Structure 1
Amino acid sequence: MQGLHLTADLRGVDPALALMTDAARLAAVCREAVRTAGLSGVAELMHRFGPADGQAGITGVVLLAESHMAVHTWPELGGVTLDVYVCNYGSDNSDKARALLEALIASFQPTEVRRQQLLRG
């Protein structure tokens, strides 16, 4: 049950960046980042909050055969949070998790990044 859990808090993201409010674009970027990192996406869900609730961002998750990744955007704050967790049961997926997180960070072009790492199990 060993794994690696990575998170990143991004600030200074351009609120006009399509990934901040366009769920289809964000899903495509997430799928490509997962594929490029060598991980296996098995399902996804992206939910865009509407103007009626005072929010405009997206909460999304991609379920991985290796575990999951999640993204939350706050265009009104220029912020994004990222979460990547991989299990290392059959093989060590740590480098793939790091590659996925870095690809997602690069997609948002933040001015500030705070990364965290937790070894699980």
Structure 2
Amino acid sequence: MQGLHLTADLHGVEPALAVMRDADALATLCRDAVTRSGLTGVAELFHRFAPKEEQSGITGVVLLAESHLAVHTWPELGGVTLDVYVCNYGADNSAKAEALLDALLKAFAPRETEVQRLSRAAASTPAV
């Protein structure tokens, strides 16, 4: 069980972007980015927080055959957090994870970005 876990904290994102406040727009962006990166979406859920009349954010998750993508928007703060994790069981999906993150970063166009990369691996010791 090995994988790459990418997280990104985005600051200075334009609050008026549809993907910041419209769950359908964010879902479309995520689905398209997953497909273009070569990963496989198997399920998804996007939720916009109330009240809808105000700049409330969205939490969205795409379950991947390779693991997951999670997105959280805060239009009132101009902020977004991204979480991309891919397991590398059977194939190295690291480049696909990087491509997915890059596509989302371009779409949100933040003024500032903090990206963290974590290589995840479990010891292959047998259960006792």
* Residue ranges of structure 2 left out of the alignment (5+ in a row): 122-128
What is the aligned-residue identity percentage? 72
1:28 counterpart SS class: helix
Counterpart residue number, 2:91:
91
Residues 42-57 of structure 1: pairs in structure 2 closer than 5 A:
42-51=42-51, 56-57=56-57
Q: Report how many residues are paired.
A: 120
Q: Is the counterpart of residue 17 in structure 1 residue 1 in structure 2?
A: no
2:33 counterpart SS class: helix
* Residue ranges of structure 1 left out of the alignment (5+ in a row): none
RMSD: 1.2
Calculate the TM-score normalised by the size of structure 2: 0.91
Asked if the contact 2:21–2:55 (Cα under 8 Å) also holds between the matched residues in 1, the reply is no
| 1:87 Cα deviation after fit | 0.3
1:51 counterpart SS class: coil
Calculate the TM-score normalised by the size of structure 1: 0.96
- Aligned mates of 2:120, 2:47 — CA distance in 1: 28
Post-superposition CA distance 1:39-59 (Å, at most 9, x none) = 00000000000128x870000
Which is greater in Rg?
2
- Aligned mates of 1:79, 1:14 — CA distance in 2: 9
Deviant stretches of 4+, over 6 Å = none
